[in-house]
Structure 1
Amino acid sequence: MNLKVSGGSKMRNLLGYAMKAFKEERAIVWSGSGAAMGKAISCVEIMKRRYKQTYQITKICYRKVEEFWEPQLEELDPLVVVREVPTIHILLSKDPLNTAEPGYQAPGAYDAFWKSSEGPGKQKHMGPTARKSMKTGVSAEQFAAMGLRTGTGHKQSSGKQKQNMEPIAHVDISNTSVKEESKDDPEHDELTILS
């Protein structure tokens, strides 16, 4: 059985039909193109939660779509536009599939992350320093040894701060050139912009 998901398809209708049909069928193929890809994937994931012992093979490709445009003026030629639309095909099967096939996913493989020690429910509460060292992979002691600090925020000052900033380039739009100033060389170098 093949189900083609479109952008206007209602997931409730698709899933209701697919769940009833999958009781008798051994395999079902979900297909979605463009904006309907996400909807097709969502339908497959919902079905996999209902039917836990399903084997999956996913294929991604492009579908060529030709659009023919008739001109409103008679002296113009018709226009043909070829677009490549991303497409996904997902095979769900009750029977074992070829494990060497690219895109193969075994039954229950979606639970592997959630049951692992790194899953979202297994995280330990950490302070800001521990979180920062996890992000960078460097401990607070290693930061200190390098002469760096592991502060949690920036100091805020009251009032305006003086900014020691000098312009390094002046753009003259009238003659389309850039005059660049160098602190080492007091003379100006001129760079021409090609337009």
Structure 2
Amino acid sequence: MEHHSFSSSGPLVSPAPQPNKATFRRTSRSEGNGVCPIPGIPADILRMRVKEGSKIHNLLQFVSNRMQGRGGGDSTRTPVRQVVFTGSGRGITKTITCVEILKREVEGLHQLSKLHYKTINEIWESPQQEAAALTVETTVPAICILLSKDPLDPQEPGYQPPHTFSVPEDDGGGHRDLLRTADRSTSQHAAKRLCPNS
């Protein structure tokens, strides 16, 4: 659920109307730098920000290569041991889908999931000089999911141990077939296991 509040740079109008796209246009948009609710996240951790329009195949190919020490033109690259996926609003479902697929790509991953809220600020202006600009503040749900090859605290709310998946050996096309399932939402059963940050 999204929550909206409005303020005007001119005389206050109460209640402030929803910006009409016919007379107002959005001139800027910024997201609050909310702190990730997962405790102890290293500053240099690999972060994957998933948006509504992100290509799941590209995200998974990049992070899978990094976690398995492939790519980048350096065959001896040290594999990363942790990655955190973040998404908000309509990007939450895609974030969970990325996590579920990656857990099948890279075995033995511990998971820690937290739900929180973040603030988005938008400036709407009208070409009519007498109309004051509107600032629209929206609060949207967001998710932060840590995947780690190293053990995590099992007592932390939102923790999930590694799962054993029965995936057949890669026959040359299995990897590509798995990535093609990205558009199929696996979030329904995953979301039930998520624990809000208390």
CA distance in 2: counterparts of 1:21 and 1:100, whole angstroms: 28
Q: Which runs of 5+ in 1 are unaligned?
A: 112-195
Amino acid in the other structure paired with 1:21: R
Structure (1 or 2) with the larger CA radius of gyration: 1
2:65 pairs with one of 9, 13, 20: 20
Are the counterparts in 1 of residues 124 and 135 from structure 2 also a CA contact under 8 Å? yes
Alignment of 1:1-195 (within 5 A): 1-23=46-68, 24-108=79-163
TM-score (norm 2): 0.53
TM-score (norm 1): 0.54
CA distance in 2: counterparts of 1:50 and 1:109, whole angstroms: 11
CA distance in 2: counterparts of 1:15 and 1:57, whole angstroms: 18
* Number of aligned residues: 111
In the TM superposition, structure 1's runs of 4+ consecutive aligned residues that sit over 6 Å from their partners are none
Between the aligned residues of both structures, percent identity stands at 41
Which structure shows the bigger proportion of residues in helix conformation?
1
Larger relative contact order (C-alpha < 8 A, sep ≥ 6)?
2
Partner of 2:4: none
Q: Which runs of 5+ in 2 are unaligned?
A: 1-45, 69-78, 167-198
Partner of 1:130: none
Q: Deviations over 1:44-77 (max 9, x none)?
A: 0011112231100001111100111123222232
Amino acid in the other structure paired with 2:66: A
CA distance in 1: counterparts of 2:145 and 2:164, whole angstroms: 15
